[in-house]
Structure 1
């Protein structure tokens, strides 16, 4: 029996999975991670990453029977997290996490405007990797090296300097088309070429587990170490969204969509950006600021499972003739499917009680999800493939049915979709066998187009949604 190890190096924890070729999970391991936050500052200790990764991997391997062959290991990490190391790989700085916002993006955007435009995302944000690198640069000693979160632990696994993957390097300014660093930009910014690691596609072989790492992690010495990807792309791989036109919609605290296209998508608003897939295709996506986080804020202390049961019994497949709808922003400002820093949550209609208030939030999240797909269609992205739903919202059968009804499409639920599984697949496992479908939910006869159009028109009226995008959404609804 062959076994693959997938490791998800996140913000709050590191999780390891030992998976067989047919998707059976033989062992799991998890260890918590601690952060240091202060306003815009968010740092972690890179040495803790390695200690807890080694412990989680040892725990996962306890479930693997003696004599089974470990065929490969891959690690995903948070997007935009960087640090500086010395030439031996020792951390010179704390890790600046994905949402650390102490840097400014002005210099990076001025120097790299032409490249960022060609790559489709148009501009960098202050929390991206390159602005952070420029912020660290003035105090960097001679010989300092850039390392992404995954690079730091991959070097420990292999025992020597390793290449970074294109996915983790995206927010540090790598040219995803040329698959190289745009040195004309880095020269203009004063970043030494020797500070930058080589780049490879996710899925490339970086080396083998060295003797020292084998002793700490329990991984057999000589196990292939495969270049991973970001946690979001890892979740997409774990969900099985790997064919052009297929999409993974992750609805938890907030909503994240990721899909597959053959061609690079260019977004004039810059709210959609694309990673590069292992086979050279593209992985466009975006992250909304709406989601289930509003439920705990607006319905504190309520039993959400009970509300779901009551809503299903009261409304059936359609939540009222003119349903109440809430635009469920978790925090001020929207990022996708439009950019509106001043956007605020609102409700169309007056909910009579907590059941209707609950349903209004669910319906609003489903409408935002539908609008995301309408906007992607406007950009020319194919949206005719499988729609795979993952995240905490899928625990509610009522919400899942509502989303299928709004999308007017069947939606797929997986048995075990998580980033660590995606890394086991990337390490060499067969996705057709490893990724199992739990259910396919068909849309009902509910007709929610009128309510959706009313919601879209309100977003346009408030000046947040571009008129062209609003018109396209209305046309797709009535077509």
Structure 2
């Protein structure tokens, strides 16, 4: 049996899965943070407290895992001491206070590197002595083992780690005034790095001696849990926002910096990008409705006459970079149901544009496509998205990132050869959605209308728009 722990924004989730993917135990515990304008922090002690509670619930029926792995949010960092004890709050992935440092580093403020620079400026002197950058998962791993453990290249990516050369960019850090001792040792995900100590065993209920395997970020964990691990496969995670991650044999080169690449445990590549569109816009527009009821009303009104670009907040990162981008509607909905339908359809249209952009970059995009995330609870929305994309979609039975970490733990323990083979045994398929050609044809016009409007506003580059039109004509 294998354990996966997922450190999210709002909760910690732990699962224990058998060799066949059956969930034998699960538990969760809530997390809260401090939000104030662009500030978003959480207390590292709260992460550990929630891990203890979630683990004990997952293990309450007695399953004893042989190994575990941990995933966490990408770009969340803090400063710790040489013993792995936190010295600062955890600065979350969407904290915006490191804008000046991001400009110096040439990255997005959402990355961990500018946040680490900001933390050094704000807290470095007060911390005193030797400090080190820690990622969210590193805090939990240090508590589990009773000593600091190496970080993994997936969590380290947005802190500046070079996954191709598998080194920290020391010269770049020197130019930024960052000392080398600030950064931890790094290993590939899936590497066995330690074991659970006696003190942690008493707090978590996880048996002492349980192997600890280096994990990945939550988006990569969801990719593993989807089972889409062959080259050309993609997983679309739709929750508050939309994230696409796939598998390629080589890194996807993107001069615009929209797509970034994680290194998979087996040496292949997991490119992806995160869009600002998603289900969060439904909550904002309709805070007190029954989603299932609205789906039923929307289904009777297809296709939508209104074209929507359903951004959750200002700014877009994928399939283009436009900090000033805002959501919009082209047309006036005749009812709440038509507005709802336009928003659902709009997410599918942006999803289609993301895949067209990946195709333009030369990524293999034609193999298996999987849907995961909270949005798959709506069977109607999943079917609608499949029709908009015009391709079959696989829906796993269980798709949470914690399961992905259980799969990675099994792989890291060396029990089943390749990660792909391990996932093939542990990831269960619920069903396959197949698009209806007539309905797919409905969305050609709205898609081209959205592409034209995004280009007209100056957000979507001309070559990207042209490629989207060409792919549509050749479909």
Range moving further from structure 2, 290-299 or 455-464: 290-299
Partner of residue 465 from structure 1, selected from 441, 444, 460 = 460
Q: Secondary structure at the match of 2:425?
A: helix
Partner of residue 12 from structure 2, selected from 11, 14, 33 = 14
Answer yes or no: is the 8 Å Cα contact 1:393–1:399 preserved in 2.
yes
In structure 1, the residue matched to 2:319 is: 337
TM-score, with length taken from structure 1? 0.92
In structure 2, the residue matched to 1:389 is: 371
Name structure 2 gaps, 5 residues minimum. 412-421
Deviation at 1:109, TM superposition (A): 5.7
Deviation at 1:72, TM superposition (A): 0.4
Deviation at 1:300, TM superposition (A): 3.9
Deviation at 1:31, TM superposition (A): 1.1
In structure 2, the residue matched to 1:263 is: 250
In structure 2, the residue matched to 1:97 is: 92
Partner of residue 71 from structure 1, selected from 55, 66, 74 = 66
Asked if residue 441 in structure 1 is aligned to residue 439 in structure 2, the reply is: no
Q: How far apart, in 2, do the equivalents of 1:18 and 1:176 lie?
A: 30
Q: How far apart, in 2, do the equivalents of 1:300 and 1:89 lie?
A: 42
Report 1:19-30 matches (<5 A): 19-30=17-28
Q: Deviations over 1:321-344 (max 9, x none)?
A: xx3221111112211111112222
Deviation at 1:431, TM superposition (A): 1.1
Name structure 1 gaps, 5 residues minimum. 113-122
In structure 1, the residue matched to 2:175 is: 188
Answer yes or no: is the 8 Å Cα contact 1:239–1:388 preserved in 2.
yes
Asked if residue 220 in structure 1 is aligned to residue 231 in structure 2, the reply is: no
Q: How far apart, in 1, do the equivalents of 2:140 and 2:285 lie?
A: 40
Q: How far apart, in 2, do the equivalents of 1:271 and 1:57 lie?
A: 36
Q: Secondary structure at the match of 1:428?
A: helix
Q: Secondary structure at the match of 2:329?
A: strand
In structure 1, the residue matched to 2:56 is: 58
Deviation at 1:215, TM superposition (A): 1.6
Q: How far apart, in 1, do the equivalents of 2:335 and 2:87 lie?
A: 55
Answer yes or no: is the 8 Å Cα contact 1:18–1:64 preserved in 2.
no
Asked if residue 158 in structure 1 is aligned to residue 159 in structure 2, the reply is: no
Q: Secondary structure at the match of 1:168?
A: helix
Deviation at 1:314, TM superposition (A): 4.1
Q: Deviations over 1:166-201 (max 9, x none)?
A: 011111111111111111122222322222211001
Q: Deviations over 1:245-264 (max 9, x none)?
A: 11111112211111111111
Deviation at 1:105, TM superposition (A): 4.9
In structure 2, the residue matched to 1:451 is: 446
Q: How far apart, in 1, do the equivalents of 2:50 and 2:376 lie?
A: 29
Q: 1:299 to 1:91 in 2, by over 3 A?
A: closer
Partner of residue 166 from structure 2, selected from 167, 179, 182 = 179
Q: 1:104 to 1:293 in 2, by over 3 A?
A: closer
Q: How far apart, in 2, do the equivalents of 1:344 and 1:81 lie?
A: 25
Q: How far apart, in 2, do the equivalents of 1:436 and 1:337 lie?
A: 30
Answer yes or no: is the 8 Å Cα contact 1:105–1:125 preserved in 2.
no
In structure 2, the residue matched to 1:120 is: none
Deviation at 1:345, TM superposition (A): 1.9
Asked if residue 423 in structure 1 is aligned to residue 405 in structure 2, the reply is: yes
- Post-superposition, which runs of at least 4 consecutive aligned residues in structure 1 deviate over 6 A? none
Asked if residue 298 in structure 1 is aligned to residue 308 in structure 2, the reply is: no
Range moving further from structure 2, 290-299 or 272-281: 290-299
